[in-house]
């Protein structure tokens, strides 16, 4: 007999909570919230910088910060990806694993940043002060080292399924740097942007790493040793530093190529068009990067969950692509339409120079989402060739086309190159 009783309806709120209980989505959304908050506050940071600092200082400071983050990205040796990939399997070796990544990255960062400062004048005349001023030299090295640890700790939190704390950390960091930006505009404008960016990073290291090593890593290790953590324990048995080394070596060329086509562009603009043009370029580039982080964060969560259950990789990829498009499409339309008014916050010069660039960069978020998903897929399967080929093609196309189009079309040429 067929029951005539109607099926119970599930409320939208219940569906939402059920959706957020899935680690694949929960961790991805946590990272997205962190990125969205950082991006929004980043817009405020650079808007205030444009109001309170001359364009020349904004241009030079953004180039210095880009160089610092580029060197930090090189120094971490693709270890952030290794933390996300292998912490789920590391079990009671997680503590030594994380510490090892810190030691390697800090040493590499100190060496690379010192070499960069000693040769800064050869890279660009406008960066020669890093070579000539000892205080700038030391501050740049310290900032690069701190940024390495800052990046690694976020990856460790993600691998431990504690990504919910990433937006808290990033929000406090962003608010603090805005406060310092305003505070330092009068007394030390030449140092203001760099100092406001660096000091909050250094301050954030102590509390996050205390919680990381005293609370979350011990919890993760203890879970791996219990019957309730059978999956993690099984994974730990297969965890070896040899596997990590192969992953890092295989992915590092792709990481370098990614850093090249993301971090070198501000330096390229500064070198070809000058610091003022870089100020007008950097703001749209920074805003559009917030859109691209949506796909990056969701695929990072994909890596964590697929590392725990690779049999569901195809299903996870489909779900992540679906969610990426649902989130990106309305945001791209909004940014494309509102681009002139968004940039007007920074000033009429920023609006006039950067509107077309911002619209083109926003549109490029769609192909970027597909590329990020593919890269995550092949990384999980340890298909190194696919990573290197894809990143290499992107690097050559973006930097090559930007180099050709920048002198002819100005900074808008980089927008066309990104598509």
Residues 392 and 285 in one domain: yes
Give the per-residue pLDDT at 141. 96
Query: In this structure, is residue 364 part of a structural domain?
Result: yes
Query: In this structure, is residue 297 part of a structural domain?
Result: yes
Residues 182 and 305 in one domain: no
393: tokens are 């093609």
Give the per-residue pLDDT at 148. 96
Residues 204 and 276 in one domain: no
Residues 266 and 206 in one domain: no
Give the per-residue pLDDT at 11. 62
Residues 213 and 142 in one domain: yes
Cβ atoms 358, 335 nearer than 8 A: yes
C-alpha span between 355 and 338 (Å, rounded): 9
To which H or E segment does residue 271 belong? helix 241-273
Number of domains in the chain: 2
C-alpha span between 96 and 87 (Å, rounded): 11
Residues 204 and 119 in one domain: yes
Q: Cα-atom radius of gyration of the chain, to the nearest Å?
A: 22
Give the per-residue pLDDT at 228. 45
Give the per-residue pLDDT at 196. 94
Residue finishing a domain among 191, 225, 259? 225
Residues 324 and 400 in one domain: yes
Query: In this structure, is residue 194 part of a structural domain?
Result: yes
Residue keyed to tokens 């978020």: 365
pLDDT per position as a tens digit, 317-365: 888 888 888 888 999 999 999 999 989 988 888 899 999 999 999 999 9
Residue finishing a domain among 207, 225, 243? 225
Residues 258 and 299 in one domain: yes
Domain that holds residue 357: 251-419
Query: In this structure, is residue 231 part of a structural domain?
Result: no
Q: Please say whether the dihedral angle defined by the alpha carbons of residues 163, 298, 310 and 86, taken in this order, is positive or negative.
A: negative
Residues 283 and 149 in one domain: no
Query: In this structure, is residue 170 part of a structural domain?
Result: yes
Residues 219 and 271 in one domain: no
Residues 6 or more apart whose CB falls under 8 angstroms from that of 154 comprise 80, 166, 169
C-alpha span between 206 and 149 (Å, rounded): 11
Query: In this structure, is residue 245 part of a structural domain?
Result: no
Query: In this structure, is residue 130 part of a structural domain?
Result: yes
Residue finishing a domain among 225, 259, 275? 225
Residues 200 and 113 in one domain: yes
Give the per-residue pLDDT at 232. 44
What are the distances in angstroms from CA 314 to CA 28, 143, 319, 379, 381?
17, 40, 9, 13, 11
Residues 346 and 197 in one domain: no
> For residue 145, what is the DSSP state?
H
Low-confidence ranges of the chain (pLDDT < 50): 1-2, 227-236
Query: In this structure, is residue 235 part of a structural domain?
Result: no
> For residue 214, what is the DSSP state?
I
Nearest to 298 by CA among 368, 349, 202: 368
């Amino acid at each position: 007999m067929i029951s005539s009783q109607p099926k119970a309806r599930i409320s939208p709120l219940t569906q939402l909570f059920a959706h957020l209980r899935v680690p694949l989505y929960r961790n991805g959304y946590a990272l997205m919230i962190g990125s969205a908050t950082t991006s929004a506050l980043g817009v405020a940071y650079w808007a205030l910088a444009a109001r309170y600092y001359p364009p020349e200082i904004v241009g030079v400071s953004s180039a210095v910060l880009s160089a610092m983050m580029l060197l930090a990205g090189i120094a971490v040796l693709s270890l952030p990806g290794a933390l996300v990939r292998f912490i789920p399997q590391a079990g009671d070796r997680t503590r030594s694993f994380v510490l090892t990544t810190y030691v390697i990255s800090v040493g590499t960062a100190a060496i690379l940043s010192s070499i960069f400062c000693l040769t800064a004048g050869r890279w660009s005349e406008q960066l020669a002060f890093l070579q000539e001023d000892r205080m700038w030299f030391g501050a740049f090295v310290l900032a690069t080292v701190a940024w390495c640890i800052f990046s690694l700790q976020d990856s460790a939190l993600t691998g431990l399924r504690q990504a919910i704390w990433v937006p808290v950390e990033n929000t406090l960091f962003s608010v603090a740097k805005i406060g310092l930006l305003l505070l330092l505009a009068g007394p030390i404008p030449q140092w203001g942007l760099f100092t406001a960016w660096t000091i909050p990073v250094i301050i954030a290291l102590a509390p996050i790493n205390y919680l990381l090593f005293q609370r979350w890593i011990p919890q993760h290790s203890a879970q791996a040793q219990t019957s309730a953590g059978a999956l993690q324990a099984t994974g730990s048995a297969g965890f070896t530093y040899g596997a990590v080394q192969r992953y890092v070596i295989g992915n590092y060329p792709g990481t370098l190529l990614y850093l090249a086509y993301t971090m070198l562009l501000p330096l390229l603009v500064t070198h070809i068009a000058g610091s003022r043009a870089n100020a007008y370029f950097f703001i749209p580039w920074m805003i559009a990067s917030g859109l691209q982080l949506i796909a990056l964060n969701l695929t990072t969560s994909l890596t964590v969950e697929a590392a725990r259950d690779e049999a569901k990789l195809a299903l996870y990829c489909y779900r992540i692509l679906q969610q990426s498009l649902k989130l990106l499409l309305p945001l791209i339309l909004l940014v494309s339409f509102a681009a002139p008014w968004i940039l007007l916050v920074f000033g009429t010069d920023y609006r006039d120079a950067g509107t077309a660039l911002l619209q083109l960069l926003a549109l490029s978020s769609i192909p970027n989402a597909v590329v990020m998903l593919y890269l995550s897929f092949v990384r999980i399967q340890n298909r190194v060739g696919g990573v290197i080929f894809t990143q290499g093609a992107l690097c050559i196309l973006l930097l090559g086309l930007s180099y050709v189009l920048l002198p002819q079309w100005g900074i808008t040429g980089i927008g066309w190159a990104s598509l």
